[in-house]
């Protein structure tokens, strides 16, 4: 009954936030829900500081929640499949070079750049933290959110090639970022001294390539099942079962569940929509997963609001969080700029595309999800959660709400049509 009450409370809050956005703010769905949820979590934190006693029950409940299971084993697969399903695969193929470059080299580079700068910052402010924990933060904050930015870009005159670079990169760096994060998390759990470079490389290769191959098999299975019937209710249930069962089976096989779900989602979105779904099925399946994505993103922000109540807060966290905003933006620029310089012979990109890719790299629910999934036994969790929250807060409210104006300013005149 307690679990039902929690779920009920989260859904009621999500519905209330959606109503406030549609009725008053009138922002794009994902951005609006995130903004309202973030404001709610800030209000919750402020109220707790004024009168902690009234929130003791909430704090006690939050400390008992297993965020690792809730986020990584339950919510993450739905978020990734929803993002992959709504991506245009034909456009991805046209920009595959730049997307691969940003999603692989860019995420790895960003992870180590952010970790190194954060490590140096913490030493400078006399708040030393192990480099492995800085790497954890770098891995979870490097992936960008494709859903949050897509609704904004479609309203601007950003070239279609740039739009698909941002969305495609965001989609694939989700999967890559999660693999890197989980690899680093496993190293942190086992201890740096007990893990060799060969073991790390083998773990990464098994997770990555195993996840891709399993995702292809899962996507093909979904396609064959959908192709054999024409009944949208059942077809929705098939996609739901495939995501849940596929993620569970990937864990059992010791391959990357996140990458498998991304690949399966892309396969389903490209092959199944074209050859296995009727128009009505395509519409209902698409709407179903869109709603799932919006609800889960809002729930994540509500969860982090409650989690912050149980945070062992220190004022230095605020300074570190504000500095982290600058670090993340600078590293985002470098992580895009450097690969483009090295590949300029075969990948063409304008300077304004670089600026758009930097400012349009919004952080969202996935970063929050990974931060919450860090085990409570890690002493650095409170700092990482608060810093992640600060960066995402800036990303959604400042970058997200200004993105349309920035895009229009950067692309005042462009030869490429939408």
d(CA 392, CA 317): 15
Q: Residue 46: CB partners within 8 Å, gap ≥ 6?
A: none
Per-residue pLDDT of the chain in tens (418 residues, 90 and over written 9)? 466 777 787 788 888 888 988 899 888 776 777 778 778 777 877 777 777 776 677 677 777 777 777 777 788 889 889 878 866 666 566 666 666 777 778 888 999 999 999 999 999 999 989 999 999 999 999 988 766 666 666 666 677 767 767 766 766 777 778 888 888 888 888 777 667 777 777 777 888 889 889 999 999 999 999 999 999 999 999 999 999 999 999 989 988 888 899 889 988 887 887 788 999 999 999 999 988 887 887 787 777 777 777 777 788 999 999 999 999 999 999 998 887 787 766 666 677 888 888 998 888 778 888 888 888 888 888 899 999 989 988 998 898 888 888 888 888 754 444 4
Look at residue 238 in the predicted model and tell me its pLDDT: 96
Q: Residue 70: CB partners within 8 Å, gap ≥ 6?
A: 303, 372
H or E element that contains 319: helix 316-342
d(CA 82, CA 89): 14
Look at residue 348 in the predicted model and tell me its pLDDT: 61
Question: Within 13 Å, how many C-alpha atoms sit on residue 407's CB side?
Answer: 24
d(CA 21, CA 198): 50
Residue pointed to by tokens 């054999």: 228
Look at residue 123 in the predicted model and tell me its pLDDT: 95
What φ, ψ does residue 195 adopt, rounded to 5°? -120, 130
d(CA 149, CA 84): 14
Q: Residue 190: CB partners within 8 Å, gap ≥ 6?
A: none
Please say whether the beta carbons of 294 and 150 come within 8 A: no
Which CATH number is 2-410 given?
1.20.1530.20
d(CA 322, CA 318): 6
Look at residue 299 in the predicted model and tell me its pLDDT: 80
| Confidence (pTM) | 0.83
Structural domain spans, the chain: 2-410
d(CA 8, CA 25): 24
Please say whether the beta carbons of 390 and 324 come within 8 A: yes
Q: Residue 304: CB partners within 8 Å, gap ≥ 6?
A: 41, 368, 371, 372, 385, 389
H or E element that contains 111: helix 107-124
Pick from 81, 134, 126: which is nearest to 110 by CA?
134
Look at residue 349 in the predicted model and tell me its pLDDT: 65
* Residue 94, burial from CB neighbour count under 10 angstroms (0-12, 13-18, 19+): middle
């Amino acid at each position: 009954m307690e679990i039902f009450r929690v779920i009920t409370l989260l859904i009621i809050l999500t519905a209330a936030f959606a109503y406030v956005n549609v009725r008053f703010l009138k922002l794009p769905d994902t951005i609006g829900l995130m903004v309202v949820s973030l404001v709610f979590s800030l209000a919750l934190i402020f109220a707790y500081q004024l009168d902690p006693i009234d929130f003791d029950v909430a704090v006690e409940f939050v400390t008992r929640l297993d965020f690792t299971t809730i986020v990584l084993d339950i919510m993450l697969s739905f978020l990734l499949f929803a993002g992959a399903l709504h991506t245009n695969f034909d456009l991805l193929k046209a920009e595959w070079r730049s997307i691969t470059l940003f999603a692989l080299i860019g995420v790895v580079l960003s992870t180590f750049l952010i970790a190194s700068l954060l490590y140096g910052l913490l030493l400078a402010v006399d708040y030393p933290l192990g480099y492995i924990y800085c790497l954890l933060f770098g891995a979870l904050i490097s992936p960008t959110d494709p859903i949050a930015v897509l609704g904004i870009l479609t309203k601007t005159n950003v070239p279609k090639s740039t739009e698909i670079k941002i969305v495609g990169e965001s989609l694939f760096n989700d999967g890559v970022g999660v693999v890197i994060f989980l690899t680093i998390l496993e190293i942190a759990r086992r201890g740096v001294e007990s893990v060799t470079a060969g073991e790390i490389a083998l773990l990464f290769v098994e997770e990555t390539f195993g996840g891709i191959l399993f995702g292809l098999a899962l996507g093909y299975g979904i396609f064959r099942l959908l192709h054999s019937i024409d009944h949208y209710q059942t077809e929705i249930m098939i996609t739901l079962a495939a995501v849940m069962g596929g993620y569970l089976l990937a864990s059992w096989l010791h391959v990357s569940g996140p990458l498998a779900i991304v690949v399966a989602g892309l396969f389903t979105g490209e092959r199944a929509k074209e050859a296995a779904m009727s128009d009505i099925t395509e519409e209902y399946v698409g709407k179903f997963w869109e709603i799932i994505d919006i609800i889960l993103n809002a729930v994540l922000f509500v969860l982090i609001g409650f989690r912050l109540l149980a945070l062992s807060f220190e004022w230095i966290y605020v300074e570190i969080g504000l500095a982290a905003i600058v670090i993340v933006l600078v590293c985002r620029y470098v992580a895009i700029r450097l690969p483009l310089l090295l590949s300029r012979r075969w990948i063409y990109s304008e300077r304004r595309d670089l600026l758009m890719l930097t400012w349009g790299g919004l952080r969202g629910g996935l970063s929050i999800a990974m931060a919450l999934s860090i085990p409570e036994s890690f002493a650095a969790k409170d700092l990482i959660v608060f810093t992640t929250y600060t960066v995402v807060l800036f990303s959604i409210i400042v970058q997200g709400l200004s993105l349309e104006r920035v895009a229009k300013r950067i692309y005042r005149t462009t030869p490429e049509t939408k």
